[in-house]
Amino acid sequence: MQQTEILLVEDDASLGFIIKDNLEMKGWKVDLFADGLSGWEAFKKKKYSLCILDVMLPKIDGFVIAENIRAINGAVPILFLTARATKEDKIAGFKKGADDYITKPFSIEELQYRVAVFLKRSGADSGNSNSVKLGNYVFDPVNLTLTIGDQKTELTQMEADLLKLFIAQKGTLIKREEILKTVWNSDDYFLGRSLDVFISKLRKYLKADPNIEIVNQFGVGFRLEVK
């Protein structure tokens, strides 16, 4: 099944990176653009499951993008991100076709929740339901399975969460502390020992594909490599 793709248009580079990174941690693919024209051109070329638009953007503002989107697609959810918090601005956003309106500053957790709700309503919740291709494997994060050919491995929730994190940051060195805080919500020393056990289990599960490797950078962290 195809991975859910989200269009994100945000001209604040730091905020855009944070949003993209955190949404992709949930398993959603995010295309980030820094101006309205680029975002609109991208929408015309690809089928997105959800659009997140800043209002104040270079070249074309978020309201205009929303109007353009609604002219050709009345179903895709649109969420506005903006510092403009007046009632009039919100009403204007909804009139342009917005499904939701999130005022800056906001909680990333709240944004993740709202995105999940809209994707579930639209039947496009790949972050929670669609399988993910990993080399010759198929990973199902909901049913907690890892399949290659006719061989299926049942994962624990922690194993699945750890693998999901590696897939979201494939090719990137993830520090041990980040892994522990993300998966276990703590960087306790003894959990660090448990992490090594979980890494060993994942390596065992993935050994049928020689092109997949979890690389250990001693004392720093791990990186998932797929050749």
Tens digit of each residue's pLDDT (9 = 90 or more) over 144-167: 899 999 999 988 878 888 998 999
Residue pLDDT, tens place only, 198-211: 999 999 999 999 99
5-122 and 132-226 share one fold: no
Q: What is the DSSP letter of 105?
A: S
Assigned CATH for 132-226: 1.10.10.10
Structural domain boundaries of the chain?
Answer: 5-122, 132-226
Q: Angle, nearest 10°, between helix axes 62-72 and 36-45?
A: 20
Q: How far is CA 137 from its chain centroid? A: 20
Q: Residue type at 126?
A: S
Q: Of how many residues is the chain composed?
A: 227
Task: Classify domain 5-122 by CATH architecture.
Answer: 3-Layer(aba) Sandwich (3.40)
In the chain, which stretches have pLDDT less than 50? Answer: 1, 126-129
> How much is the pTM?
0.54
Using CA atoms, how far apart are residues 25 and 115, in angstroms rounded to an integer? Answer: 13
CA angle 157–163–169, rounded 5-degree value: 140
